[in-house]
Amino acid sequence: MTRVCRYRFFREVFVSFLVSLVFMGNLLAQVSEDTHGYIISYSGDTTFGQISPGNYFRDQKRIRFTDVYGVKTIYHSDRIAGFGYGGKHYIAKPTPYYFAGLFSDSTIFLLRRIQGPASLYRFYKQRSLFTLQKGPSYFELVEKPDGKLYEVSLAFKWKRVATVFADYPELAREIETGLYKPEELDKIIDTYNQWYNQR
């Protein structure tokens, strides 16, 4: 074998080796993207399998799910009541009023942050191209025991948030007088839920 032939042979082996590494890397990346999760049907049944997580916005619209038999399906909020993976729980809810429009979906998956008599949800909306803020913008929504959703985003006047909790007058007064800061919304929900459960 001449020197040129040996050079070509080793070059081809080396290139094949690199291509194999890239191919295996892509396969491993695809496998690692999936994570254990579940979906909930509208009848309340839970099915476990693998979920291919998306970003904040895609997860609100649809989810890719693979069942234990390897069947892959894309679910929207009109087909399932919710899903979860990696400590996140999404529930199908009506699209928030301010973002519902002629061409928007009637329901959307909202990230449930707190579950209780009053549940706290987060709705993500992409920021305008003209804003200087980075990252996803989001709005907080509270579902009260009567099933109604109330927006309690920090963009609104803080006193307006107090009206959402008017059925617990002491908490509403504390919110109005500034005892709670806007970033303490989780604490407000927990305080309300403790009061509601002890009534």
The single residue listed with the structure tokens 């290139």 is: 15
Cα dihedral 17, 22, 25, 26, rounded to 10, equals: -140
Of 199, 185, 77, 94, the residue nearest 148 (C-alpha): 94
63 strand-pairing partners: 75
Q: Distance (Å, rounded) from C-alpha 76 to C-alpha 152?
A: 26
Q: Shortest CA distance to 61 belongs to which of 114, 106, 119?
A: 106
Band of the pLDDT at 1, cuts 50, 70, 90?
low
For residues 138 and 113, give the distance between their C-alpha atoms in angstroms, rounded to a whole number.
13
33-87: pLDDT as tens digits: 579 999 999 999 999 999 998 888 888 889 999 999 999 999 999 999 999 999 9
